[in-house]
Amino acid sequence: MAENKVKPVNEADLKELKNRMKLIAEADPSQFHNEFSLKRYLRAFKTVDDAFKAILKTNKWRKEYGVETLTPETPEIKKNLEANKARVLKYRDMIGRPVVYIPAKNHNASNRDIDELTKFIVYCLEDACKKCFEEVVDNLCIVFDLQDFGVTCMDYQLVKNLIWLLSRHYPERLGVCLIINSSSLFASCWAVIRGWLDENTTSKVTFVSSEEELCKHLIPDILPTDI
């Protein structure tokens, strides 16, 4: 059975960060972050100062990027939903995480708009995060399905953008990343990608080689067969 191991935060640090955020949230309610969010930033950025600065940068980015305005009817989102580039599943993994499913075969690095696709990934992360039962588990399961994976499917820039988003604006949201149906062709790609990850993130990546192993993380039947 999968486990959700979350490091505790220093209560004094949490109290100080809450006080700082309360002051700016009183002036601008859009700056509000709940306690679960503050804990994630503290775990990711270690100190109160760094966590506070990171939160302010995220708030600024969310406003400038128009995160709250992204809907299934937004042209870039609708286009990529219809192309089945990714899907937030209706069902959860074994410990209750929302699941973001990404079929590699539907990606072509030479035939995409990276800005549109990145905005779509932001939409998917937002959608998944809204489905979290934060009192129980506040992180996500991301599944990369490498069935029918080919060289043209490997979009390094998109992977870089996803890593950046998760580290800067969705810190500690990644609970586990499952890579299923991998082949020897992906080995050289993984060697490159692994060099971009810190030790903590690398530890969350799991290559799943059998249905029995997959069952430790999620019920295989929840994975789409129509995309």
Question: Are 48 and 114 in a shared domain?
Answer: no
Report the CATH number at residue 88: 3.40.525.10
CA-to-CA separations, 33 to 8, 71, 213, in angstroms, rounded:
18, 22, 36
Domain assignment present for residue 4? The answer is no
How does pLDDT run across 144-185, given as a tens digit for each residue?
A: 999 999 999 999 999 999 999 999 999 999 999 999 999 999
Percent of the chain with pLDDT over 70: 98
Question: Are 37 and 84 in a shared domain?
Answer: no
How far apart CA 102 and CA 80 sit, in angstroms, is 12
User: What pLDDT, on a 0 to 100 scale, did the predictor assign at position 83?
Assistant: 97
How far apart CA 145 and CA 101 sit, in angstroms, is 7
Domain that holds residue 125: 69-219
Question: Are 57 and 97 in a shared domain?
Answer: no
The overall average pLDDT reported for the chain is 95
Domain assignment present for residue 136? The answer is yes
How far apart CA 40 and CA 170 sit, in angstroms, is 9
Domain assignment present for residue 176? The answer is yes
* Count of domains forming the chain: 2
Q: Which residues pair with 206 in a beta bridge?
A: 178
Contact 140, 173 (CB under 8 A): yes
User: What pLDDT, on a 0 to 100 scale, did the predictor assign at position 152?
Assistant: 95
Whether the pLDDT of residue 1 is over 90: the answer is: no
User: What pLDDT, on a 0 to 100 scale, did the predictor assign at position 219?
Assistant: 97
* Confidence bin at 2 (pLDDT 50/70/90): low
Percent of the chain with pLDDT over 90: 91
User: What pLDDT, on a 0 to 100 scale, did the predictor assign at position 121?
Assistant: 98
pTM given for the model:
0.94
Whether the pLDDT of residue 86 is over 90: the answer is: yes
CA-to-CA separations, 54 to 18, 87, 125, 173, in angstroms, rounded:
14, 28, 18, 15
How far apart CA 107 and CA 91 sit, in angstroms, is 23
**Upper half-sphere CA count for residue 112 (Cβ side, 13 Å):** 23
Question: Are 207 and 161 in a shared domain?
Answer: yes
User: What pLDDT, on a 0 to 100 scale, did the predictor assign at position 91?
Assistant: 96
Question: Are 54 and 78 in a shared domain?
Answer: no
Contact 160, 194 (CB under 8 A): no
User: What pLDDT, on a 0 to 100 scale, did the predictor assign at position 113?
Assistant: 96
Question: Are 30 and 82 in a shared domain?
Answer: no
Q: Look at 120 and 30; give whichever has higher pLDDT.
A: 120
User: What pLDDT, on a 0 to 100 scale, did the predictor assign at position 27?
Assistant: 85
Task: Please write down the HEC assignment for all residues of the chain.
Answer: CCCCCCCCCCHHHHHHHHHHHHHHHHHCHHHCCCHHHHHHHHHHHCCHHHHHHHHHHHHHHHHHHCHHHCCCCCHHHHHHHHCCCCEEEEEECCCCCEEEEEEHHHCCCCCCCHHHHHHHHHHHHHHHHHCCCCCCCCCEEEEEECCCCCHHHCCHHHHHHHHHHHHHCCCCCEEEEEEECCCHHHHHHHHHHHCCCCHHHHCCEEEECCHHHHCCCCCHHHCCCCC
How does pLDDT run across 27-70, given as a tens digit for each residue?
A: 888 888 999 999 999 999 999 999 999 999 999 999 999 999 99
